[in-house]
Structure 1
Amino acid sequence: MASSPILDNPTRTAALIAGVITLAAAALILAVVGSLVAAAGFFAVGIIAAGMVFAWRLLTPQHAGEARAVDWEFTRAVAQASSDAVAITDRAGRLVCANDAYEALFAGFPTPPGLPLDNDGVALLGNAGRIAWREGNGVVRNLQVGVHRVCARITRAGDEGDMLVWRFSVTEEQDVAASTEALIEGATGDRLGGAGVMAALICPDGRVRAANRVLAQRALGGGERLEGRDFARLLITDSRGLVRFEREGLDGTPLRVVQIPFMDSEDAPVLVALLDDEDSAPAIGASASAHVRSLVSLMPFGMALVDREGKFLQMNDAFIRAAGVEPKAPPLYPGDLVVREDKAAVADAIRRFAGGATHSSDMAVRLKSHPDEPVALTIAGARGLGDAAVLLSLKDNSEESRLKREVAQATKMQAVGQLAGGVAHDFNNILTAIIGHCDLMMMRHSPGDSDYDDIQQIRTNSNRAASLTRQLLAFSRQQTLRPQTLQLPDVVAEVSNLLKRLMGEQIRLDVTHGRNLGAVRADPGQLEQVVVNLAVNARDAMLAHNPGGGGTLTIQTKSVTATEVRAMASDILPVADYTALVVSDEGGGIPPEILPKIFEPFFTTKEVGKGTGLGLSTVYGIVKQSGGWIFAESKPGQGATFTMYLPVHAAGTVSRVPASRPSPKPVEMWGTGTILLVEDEGMVRAVAERALTRQGYTVMTAENGEAALELLDRNGRPDLLISDVVMPTMDGPTMVRHARDRYPDLPIIFMSGYAEEQLRRSIDLDNVAFLPKPFSVQQLAEAARDVLVGR
């Protein structure tokens, strides 16, 4: 049964009950008193009172506790229908509802105004929210949310106005610059030209991006295009401040330059309009200043204007970039740009030029933005430019500074290379004496002798030290090379067995070779050292990254054509045909800050005592001395790849790489004859003299070139002359030239701790042999025997 609409309303029900009670009371009075008039009056008064109560209840608003409940499911469904991001917060600032677009835009449900915006954006949004509470609505435009530009609209809502509705709409950005460029170069630009307006779009560096035809005709006078030209160079200014086209000269029609900054961005182009201003004849003053300021803003180099009080009037974009100025908070005085120590000097110079100094001055200052690199600040007095009294020019020399650092680094590396070569030379002299004395002692002891093993150990360690000096010479590109024409796969195959032993059980070796590889010309022994050094470094990197699992070392040879090199567009690698060796690992990679330093000598990331820092520098020196190039690529956590490029050698036949085995010892090393030995190092001279004497030779010794020539004068021609190259007073080559003047067919052996190639370039002598230090007694005897028997 349906309920009565009257009974459904509590107020009406209460009124009905009151009427029934009033009627019953009136009947009771009639029965007791017996007066119909009294009973009717009582009933009328009761009816009036009930009506007043009913009216009062109707007109009285409901209490807050009786407010209608909000259906949030329905509210969210309505918000979902909007393409904008919508959120609702209550009076306590809590987020009570938001749609999916809100979650997608802000990557979750943050509570406004605490959204992922920049600091200014959060502050602006919070201020707009306070305005919405006070006035009902608030708006914020151009908020940056990630890559989107957003407009926020805030509205107060709710029965009691106790909620805020936040609606965020993404603004679709248009390429205004591209559209403007198309308009200027198209029919719109022609219509502007017909109306006497010359228009151009100027890039931030001051070069023309687009211009209409009439401007190109007036500026160049022909069919050439203005795009890419320096706009400021197209104009000139006379002594009265009038601007004209440079092509038309001072007799040309004056121009009025109007800048239209139509885009709000530091890197945005500027629209410039030029109008013929034939009637203008401005006096030197404010109008000229306006023209100059227009030109200053277009200059591609940093310029600024300062007034007589020393305050900035204008800074162009190039000055802002060079000085590292924050565009939103520019400094008030030039002294605010520099470090504290330079403030006084800058202020004094500006005060002097503002007071009447006419010449310009350059001073070195250090900017706050990069205090370690002094820059040149040019200061000049400005006259006839209105409020401007001083002109400042600041050069953006960041690129120049970078080049200076690179040149300084290259100079340092060259100096270190020369030092390494000198150290290696001195070490080789010492090692020659040590190895020689070991050889002499071993001749007096048999393998079963108690001292034999100790001597052998000294000799082994000396040879290890000799290999270290060879690494120094390799870094300084001064080691002796024995180049051959060969194939890279033969070199890799020769060291494959060694690499398998070096890699161990945890590292898998994967070797692949490409087809149609060109022959290269290099020293096979040195290339083997390159492969071994790269492989050992890769092994250590993989074991450090994954101690339990190791990884895979990949060695690949491939052909790289000139076309492929050209496609690389490398500024370093010349265009040519190459055979490449690629060594890749699965280690932890090389951090970006370390990657530029890996080829420096003595640089290592290994623990103290576990690396010399010469491995990769040796590789670099060998590759460069062989005429090749090497590059390293790496991403953290993804391993490293080293690629060596050696130019293809077109001429000659390929030589097989000989197996790594010691040279067979000659059967008979005994000899006869007289040898003149010239060596400034006493320990080396003593060892060599004893070694040659034991082989049956008669040995004369001299400590320098002059002493050697005196011996020749007294004793005549020897059978062989063995001389060091670098000696005090008179060096070896000079002494040999004097000896050859007397004895043109005198056999010569030069011995030196420097590289043979380095020495042969400075020694213009024929028919000379070379013996590199350190050498053993056997090697010295073999060299003497080979020369004397004519081998």
Structure 2
Amino acid sequence: MATSPLSPPRNDAPRRSMLIAGAGGVAAALVILGLIGDWQLAAGFLAAALLIAGGLLAFWRLSRSAAATEANEDWALAHALAEASDGPLAVTDRSGRLVCANDAYRRLFDGLPTPPSLPFEGDGESRLGAAGRTAWRDGEGQVAALARRGRTLDARIARAGDDMLLWHFVAARGEGGTGAANPLPAAISAIAGPVGERLGAAGVMAVAIQPDGRIEAANRVFAARATGSAEANVEGRDFARLMLAEPTGHVRFEREGGGGNPLRLIQLPLGESADAPIVLALIDEEDAGFTVGLGDDVAAHVRALVGLLPIGLAMVDRDGRFVHINAAFASATAVNAAAPPLYPGDLVVREDKAALADAIRRFSGGASHVADMQVRLAARPDEPVALTLAGARGLGDASVILCLKETGEEGQLKRQVAQATKMQAVGQLAGGVAHDFNNILTAIIGHCDLMLMRHSPGDSDHDDIQQVRANANRAAALTRQLLAFSRQQTLRPQVLQLPDVVSEVSNLLTRLLGETVRLEVKHGRGLGSVRADPGQLEQVIVNLAVNARDAMVAANPAGGGTLTIETLAVGRAAVKRMGDDVLPVGDYAVLRITDTGTGIPPEILPKIFEPFFTTKEVGKGTGLGLSTVYGIVKQSGGYIFAESPPGQGARFTIYLPVNTSAEAPAPKVAPKAPKRPAGWGTGTVVLVEDEAMVRAVAERALVRQGYKVLTAENGEAALELIARCERPDLLVSDVVMPMMDGPTMVAKVRERYPDLPILFMSGYAEEQLRRSIDLDNVAFLPKPFSVQQLTEAVGGVMGTA
């Protein structure tokens, strides 16, 4: 127990009074003797002064003795009460001096500071001082949640009599009134007591450590190993200075050096917060069961086995460092297997480092289950991979096994399937947009044609109408590109040879590429014929060549570059050796276009075929060039792949299946009559169109041409109209309509009039609609159309009827 000696305040007033009384009596006797010369009167004054001084002296001695006796009795009791307290306790007097304190107070506050000037964290000292002033005034004061060395304490201050304050500190209760006390005192008592001795007998070194690394308590075995003496006092020392951490991950006592036994550290946090104290148990590795060092033969066999496995595997030690990685893991993460990074977190992006480190920490601490998590590798930040973690036992330093489930080929296949699915969905959207847009353009172009009939070329409005019509035609060309991307445009396939198509377009390419770009054409041998639309195939070559020219000129304006177009045959065996999961095995005629530009960045390569994606400046590209190429190739039954090797230009390879069959039979479509000049028409035409603006334009155009026109807004209305009127001469109908579509309506009309000529019109492509139109004697007019195109189509069908 640490106490300060009893030191009551010293009262010197009686002594001063006695001296004053004595001195005054002597002075009075001398004055009387000098003035009067009467010895008797002077002796009387002197005797009276001595009597008063003696009385004061006796009173002072008696009061001092009583006070001393009373104080000694009070402090003996105070000391006993202080030692009996279960927490830190101190007593201060009125003047603010520390009178006594118990051992618990001494351990908590080094150097016996005087309350309220105690080293609490934050505003603890000021709150404690306020509680002390309250105790002087009201007799009692309290303050809660005082933080000190990772502990949280509550303080109760009580006034003892008129001159003393009792400061009592207890462990704070948990939040919500749960009553959960700080476990650190109990842990300290256990480690420093019999429990620590029993752990030491079992070879376990136990130590309690504060968040700042200072030791609170340790058993005798730890003290002996750390300092060389079991009786050494290690409290308050820095734990890290007693240990030696090696680059291999081993931990040893600093006193024993590199020749000491490696230690295994088991942590037990004494709270949920990150700054809570911990209890460490240290065990010699050689006594911890079956272990294998990495240099042993068994570990070499384990590493050899892991290296032979085709899946990516890595082993991590208890400190989160790599022990070994196999070639598959190194290839998937783009690292050097001979010199891997120190930690697994070095392989992933910054956002995933903390989650991966936390998972490894849990499994290295003894978790026995298996868990999966998604991480993004720093080498491929846009492609999440699945990482499996499992605890390892009996593998030497390795305590966690990491397995990369998704490696190169599997991930590439998943990305290709996802890209194909996305492109198909976008294609359907583009086809629907083109259909609705074509209806709008039909109305715009039709009304422009009708107005031009009323305005001669010299009219002031004629040029404005022509300008509107020209812009509408430009928009119509844009919708044709959308239909090409969505594989819904009208193709007229022919059996042809790729070298012939390249030769036809070479003269055009020479003019398009300019003087700084050189064109090289190479043809292979043994190419089979393909079935494709030559006009659309030429558009594919032109689009790819123009993109390559722009890339090369942007990279080297003065020198340009070289554009190479190759045709070659790829047989079934070669395709099989390629092992591509997207390209079916078969015979192909290949068209390859390569440039010498800067290439396509890896992060952009997966997006180049998406509609409206462009890297050109605003106003210099629509983003439909490559998407149109993609649509034409896919609609022709082919496959296109884009590559950009590092340090080289871009390379586009198109695989078209070799045509092995004879010419396909002609479709069941009425032959189109040759165009004839638009003249005056006769007959009855039934017009069925759900779009009112298109129906109005078509009706006005046919009426002006001399036809009798009967209109209906849907298929049901058309059937009712035909049922109550005479036989019409022609049925003009939209294909896609709500409720009953055009082909269904026409099939019911043909039941009554089998030879009635039909003219279908639609914003969708004819190639797409032929699959749902299985009817004879049917003609097709694509939207958008002009008034002249409509009248020519109607006259042509009725002229062949």
TM-score range, shorter chain: 0.5 to 0.7
Q: Could you tell me which residue of structure 2 aligns to residue 253 of structure 1?
A: none
User: Which one has a bigger Cα radius of gyration?
Assistant: 2
* In structure 2, C-alpha distance between the alignment counterparts of 1:369 and 1:630, rounded to whole Å: 28
Cα distance in 1, alignment partners of residues 572 and 356 from structure 2: 53
CA contact (8 A) 1:583 1:641 kept: yes
Secondary structure of the equivalent of 2:558? coil
CA distance in structure 1 between the aligned counterparts of 2:460 and 2:321, rounded to whole angstroms: 91
Alpha-carbon distance change, 374 to 551 in structure 1, aligned in 2, over 3 angstroms: closer
Report the equivalent of 1:642: 652
Aligned partner of 2:405 among 397, 401, 404: 397
Equivalent-residue separation in structure 2 for 1:576 and 1:299 (angstroms) = 29
Q: What is the rounded CA distance, in whole Å, between the counterparts of 1:505 and 1:305 in structure 2? A: 60
The answer as to 2:422 corresponding to 1:412 is yes
Q: Confirm or deny: 8 A CA contact 1:587 1:637 kept in the other structure.
A: no
553, 560, 583: which one aligns with 1:550: 560
Runs of at least 5 residues in structure 1 that lack an aligned partner in the other structure: 1-122, 125-256, 273-296, 332-336, 355-359, 655-662
Tell me the residue number matched to 1:718. Answer: 728
Once the two structures are superposed, residues 71-123 of structure 1 have per-residue CA deviations (whole angstroms, 9 ceiling, x without a partner) of: xxxxxxxxxxxxxxxxxxxxxxxxxxxxxxxxxxxxxxxxxxxxxxxxxxxx9
State the AA in 2 paired with 1:417.
Answer: G
Cα distance per residue 1:548-599 (max 9 Å; x no partner)? 3333433343444445545555444334333333333333333343333322
AA of the residue aligned to 1:724: D
The separation in 2 between residues aligned to 1:720 and 1:423, in whole angstroms, is 29
Distance 1:376 1:713 in 2: 70
SS at structure 2 position matched to 1:599: coil
1:674-753 map, 5 Å: 674-753=684-763
- Residues 771 and 551 from structure 1, CA distance in 2 versus in 1: closer, same or farther, beyond 3 angstroms? same
Q: Give 1:460 deviation, angstroms.
A: 2.4
Report 1:162-241 matches (<5 A): none
Contact kept? 1:678, 1:723, Cα under 8 Å: yes
Instruction: Output the amino acid matched with 1:774.
Output: P
- Counterpart for residue 538 of structure 1: 548
Q: Which runs of 5+ in 2 are unaligned?
A: 1-245, 248-291, 346-350, 665-672
Which amino acid counterpart does residue 567 of structure 2 have in structure 1? T
1:364–1:374: 8 Å Cα contact kept in structure 2? no
Is the alpha carbon distance of 1:396 and 1:349 closer, same or farther for their aligned partners in structure 2, counting shifts above 3 Å? closer
Q: In terms of mean alpha carbon deviation, does 345-354 or 747-756 score higher?
A: 345-354
Shift of 1:766: 3.6
Kindly provide the amino acid, as one letter, of the partner of residue 437 in structure 1.
H
Shift of 1:540: 1.2
Give the distance between the partners of 2:316 and 2:648, measured in 1 at CA: 52
1:405-554 equivalences under 5 Å are: 405-514=415-524, 516-554=526-564
Number of residue pairs aligned between Structure 1 and Structure 2: 487
**1:533: how far off?**
0.7
Aligned match of 1:78: none
* 1:368-412 Cα shifts (integer Å, max 9, x gaps): 9799959697999x9xx999xxx9998643346665554443332
Deviation per CA, 1:276-311, whole angstroms, max 9, x where unpaired? xxxxxxxxxxxxxxxxxxxxx9998989999xxx99
Q: State the alpha-carbon separation in 1 of the partners of residues 488 and 718 from structure 2.
A: 28
- Aligned AA (2:732): I
In the superposition, relative to structure 1, how do residues 653 and 263 fare at CA in structure 2: closer, same or farther (>3 Å)? same
Q: Deviations over 1:225-257 (max 9, x none)?
A: xxxxxxxxxxxxxxxxxxxxxxxxxxxxxxxx9
Output the aligned Cα RMSD: 4.9
Instruction: Point out the more displaced range, 462-471 or 615-624.
Output: 462-471
Cα shift at 1:610: 0.8
Deviation sequence 1:102-149 (CA, Å, 0-9, x none): xxxxxxxxxxxxxxxxxxxxx99xxxxxxxxxxxxxxxxxxxxxxxxx
Partners of 2:617 and 2:386 lie apart in 1 by 40
- Whether the 8 Å CA contact 1:473–1:479 is kept in 2: the answer is yes
- Does 1:759 find its partner at 2:769? yes
Amino acid at match of 1:687: V
Structure 1 residue identity aligned to 2:448: C
Cα distance in 2 for residues equivalent to 1:430 and 1:501 = 36
- Equivalences for residues 542-691 of structure 1 within 5 A: 542-566=552-576, 568=578, 570-635=580-645, 638-652=648-662, 666-691=676-701
Does the 8 A contact of 2:320 with 2:343 survive in 1? no
Question: In 2 relative to 1, CA 699–496 (structure 1 residues): closer, same or farther, beyond 3 Å?
Answer: farther
Residue aligned with 1:398, SS: coil
Identical aligned residues as a percent: 65
Does 591-600 or 417-426 show the bigger shift?
591-600
TM-score, normalization: structure 1? 0.52
Comparing 748-757 with 436-445, greater Cα deviation is found at 436-445
Distance 2:390 2:520 in 1: 65
Task: Give the C-alpha shift of residue 515 in structure 1.
Answer: 5.1
Could you give the per-residue CA deviations for residues 694-753 of structure 1, whole angstroms, max 9, x where no partner exists? Answer: 222111111111221221222243221111122222222222232223323222222111
Amino acid aligned to 1:740: R
* 8 Å contact from structure 2 (residues 476, 784) kept in 1: yes
1:499-538 CA deviation, whole Å, 9 max, x = no partner? 3333334434444545554322111221121121112112
Compared CA separation, residues 441 and 575, structure 1 to 2 (3 A):
same
The CA distance in 1 between the partners of 2:773 and 2:603, in whole Å, is: 44
> Which residue does the alignment assign to 1:269?
304
TM (norm. structure 2) is 0.51
Mark the CA change 1:708 to 1:266 in structure 2 (over 3 Å): closer, same or farther: farther
1:328 to partner: Cα distance: 5.9
User: Structure 1 CA distance, aligned partners of 2:634 and 2:684?
Assistant: 42
1:260: Cα distance to partner?
9.4
1:583-626: per-residue Cα shift (whole Å, max 9, x none)? 33333333343333322222222112111111111111101111
Amino acid at match of 1:763: I
What SS does the aligned partner of 1:630 have?
A: strand
Question: SS at the partner of 1:555?
Answer: strand
Within 2, Cα distance between the matches of 1:636 and 1:258? 42
Q: Structure 2 CA distance, aligned partners of 1:591 and 1:458?
A: 40
Q: Say if 2:322 and 2:343, in contact at 8 Å, map to a contact too.
A: no
The 1-side partners of 2:524 and 2:648 are apart by 24
Instruction: Name the amino acid aligned to 2:789.
Output: Q
Tell me the distance in 1 between the aligned counterparts of 2:376 and 2:564.
49
Q: Deviations over 1:52-77 (max 9, x none)?
A: xxxxxxxxxxxxxxxxxxxxxxxxxx
